[in-house]
């Protein structure tokens, strides 16, 4: 196996996930998870989100980092399973930069 890179960006992770989904074979957790369907990928993302939140209110900073890495990995898998690209998400973030979060909240239709 090649030497692990020092840092992996979200773009790197999305590319790894896309490659493993396409050609990972039986040794790939990514490929096996995507084969179990979007609902399973969504369940894993939800679990990791809760674990990250629980870690955040604890005292173990390494656990926050580790759970956050799991969360980002499972988000990359879910986006791959749903056919949504990081560019789609970045474009949405870009559309939001012209207003504050509170302005956006106030502009939502009233229920």
Ligand X SMILES: N=c1c2ncn([C@@H]3O[C@H](COP(=O)(O)OP(=O)(O)OP(=O)(O)O)[C@@H](O)[C@H]3O)c2ncn1[C@@H]1O[C@H](COP(=O)(O)O)[C@@H](O)[C@H]1O
Instruction: Tell me which residues touch ligand X (CB under 6 A).
Output: 16, 20, 24, 28-31, 33, 44, 70, 73
Q: Which is nearer to ligand X, 35 or 91 (CB)?
A: 35
d(CA 108, CA 51): 30
Closest by Cα among 73, 77, 71 to 53: 71
The least distance separating ligand X from the CB of residue 90, rounded to whole angstroms, comes to 20
Residue of closest CB approach to ligand X = 30
The least distance separating ligand X from the CB of residue 26, rounded to whole angstroms, comes to 10
The least distance separating ligand X from the CB of residue 73, rounded to whole angstroms, comes to 4
d(CA 11, CA 18): 11
Beta carbons of 5 and 12 less than 8 angstroms apart: yes
């Amino acid at each position: 196996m090649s030497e692990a890179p020092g840092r992996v960006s979200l773009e790197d992770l999305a590319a790894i996930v896309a490659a493993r989904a396409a050609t990972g074979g039986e040794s790939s957790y990514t490929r096996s998870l995507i084969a179990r369907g979007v609902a399973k990928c969504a369940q894993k993302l939800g679990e990791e989100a809760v674990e990250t939140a629980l870690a955040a209110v604890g005292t173990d900073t390494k656990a926050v980092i580790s759970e956050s890495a799991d969360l980002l990995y499972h988000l990359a898998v879910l986006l791959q399973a749903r056919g949504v690209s990081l560019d789609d998400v970045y474009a949405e973030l870009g559309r939001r930069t012209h207003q504050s979060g509170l302005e956006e909240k106030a502009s939502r239709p009233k229920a």
